[in-house]
Structure 1
Amino acid sequence: MKFQGSEEYVATDDLTIAVNAAVALERPLLVKGEPGTGKTELAHQVATALSLPMIEWNIKSTTRAQQGLYEYDAVSRLRDSQLGDERVHDVRNYIRKGKLWEAFEAEGKVVLLIDEIDKADIEFPNDLLQELDKMEFFVYETGETVRAKQRPIVIITSNNEKELPDAFLRRCFFHYIRFPDETTLRKIVEVHHPGIKDALLTTALTQFYELRDQPGLKKKPSTSEVLDWLKLLLAEDLTAEDLKRDGANALPPLHGALLKNEQDVHLFERLAFMARGQR
């Protein structure tokens, strides 16, 4: 069971090594990187490439670790008892299984994605240590222990918004997805926009990297954003000639796909103003 990337996902050698190492070690793969660098998509592609079902747990700021195991609805049980409902005699009727439980009870191996773990409370990763390590948990309401029938491939993503606890990191295989160089980005673009003219792509990527490398930028545009920008350029039938800029215009056409806050737009407007003043 080896992951080699796919036709829809350009995986670098170090990323494929990381995925296969985590699978071999039976450890969760913790993937960090800038937003938009394909961390979430990696889990989907691993599942597709290995022909495995995928279970996705999207983490929010209000998510608790217990929700990944199960939730007991005591309020509904109390209401049903007042109404004389026969369901109250079986507590299992009021237990809602979480994503980890789904993954543990699956008959075959699955890919379990825990997406954006750094959005949750700082204690969230620690609260899952034992369950991810031992692949089992105890259900207090029924007195049963739920054990994984087959150890799932666990992929955990983080945008690095919070530091994760050392005890949690020790149990993971770690990989940081670096922003792709131009050669890799060209391969990614070819997957999403096959047949794009080389002159347009070369000019667009040159401008993109110049914009991305501008000092003082608050939010650097990501891989997904350059793909959106290229899609717009193609939709508008723009050419490499249309992308040429003079010093008085520091912003590329349709820059709203790349720059997502007014501070960065103002930065380039100031650069254009200064360039005009020097002419």
Structure 2
Amino acid sequence: IPETGETITAKQRPIVIITSNAEKELPDAFLRRCIFHYIDFPDKEMMRSIIEVHHPHLEETLLQQAMEAFYNLRNVSGLLKKPSTSELLDWVQALALGGIEPERISRELPFIGVLLKKNQDLDRIPRHQHERGGRQRPFPFSQRG
């Protein structure tokens, strides 16, 4: 410890746990020293539990509509950055604080900038294609490709 001049020696080698969302490549020499444990993206049941922990008083219909739109959005092919659990939690909070009626979520995606962080991804969503001069299609949709 530089500030105290002490040296502390561990009795056992420490175990270090790191997480990665695979957005950046890690060096091979580092990866050779790692043990991997992959965690699947939360299914709808698990995601519901996560949301309820963070937003216990959320209206049921709002929760259902938000989750349906979120998973539909994640299924859009070609997104550079699919929205994650963190974005969903922030979006649900924005919807609730913004007084958004659940029915609006199936027609449009209010506060979509909370979910999508890349302009190219916004261009892949029909509502935004219309706003930027493209053809409008209703959301949710099952476009793949």
TM-score, scaled relative to structure 1: 0.42
Match of 1:260 in 2: 117
Distance (Å, rounded) in 1 between the aligned partners of 2:51 and 2:27: 33
AA matched with 2:25 = K
Q: 1:200 deviation in Å?
A: 1.0
In 1, Cα distance between equivalents of 2:34 and 2:62: 42
**Structure with higher strand content:** 1
Aligned Cα root-mean-square deviation (Å): 2.6
Q: Distance in 2 between matches of 1:159 and 1:189?
A: 20
Could you say which residue in structure 1 is the equivalent of 2:143?
none
Amino acid corresponding to residue 217 of structure 1 in structure 2: L
Letter in 2 for 1:270: Q
- Aligned counterpart in structure 2 of residue 270 of structure 1, from 111, 129, 139: 129
> How many angstroms apart in 1 are the aligned matches of 2:84 and 2:65?
17
The residue identity in structure 2 corresponding to 1:162 is: E
Matched, 1:180 2:42: yes
* 1:106-157 deviation line (CA, Å, top 9, x unaligned): xxxxxxxxxxxxxxxxxxxxxxxxxxxxxxxxxxxxxxxxx32344341122
Equivalent residue for 1:197, pick from 56, 59, 70: 59
2:20 match = 158
Q: Provide the identity percentage.
A: 48
Question: Which of the two has greater helix per residue?
Answer: 1
Structure 1: unaligned runs, 5 residues or longer: 1-94, 106-146, 246-250
| Residue 211 (str. 1) matches residue 84 (str. 2) | no
Change in 2 beyond 3 A, CA 1:275/1:234? closer
Q: Aligned residues, how many?
A: 130
Q: Give the unaligned 5+ runs of structure 2.
A: 139-145
Q: Give the AA of the match of 1:259.
A: L
After TM superposition, give the deviation of residue 173 of structure 1 in Å. 2.7
Aligned to 2:86: 224
Distance 1:193 1:175 in 2: 29
Q: What is the CA–CA distance in structure 2 between the aligned matches of 1:274 and 1:230, rounded to whole Å?
A: 24
Residue 175 and residue 264 in structure 1: after superposition, are their counterparts in 2 closer, same or farther (change >3 A)? same
Give yes or no for contact 2:69–2:106 (8 Å, CA) kept in 1.
no
Distance (Å, rounded) in 2 between the aligned partners of 1:154 and 1:163: 16
Alignment of 1:138-149 (within 5 A): 147-149=9-11
Query: What is the distance in 2 between the residues matched to 1:273 and 1:172?
Result: 48
Report the structure number with the largest CA radius of gyration: 1
Change (3 A) 1:242 1:275: closer
Counterpart of 1:229 in 2: which secondary structure?
helix
TM-score by length of 2: 0.75
| AA of the residue aligned to 1:256 | G
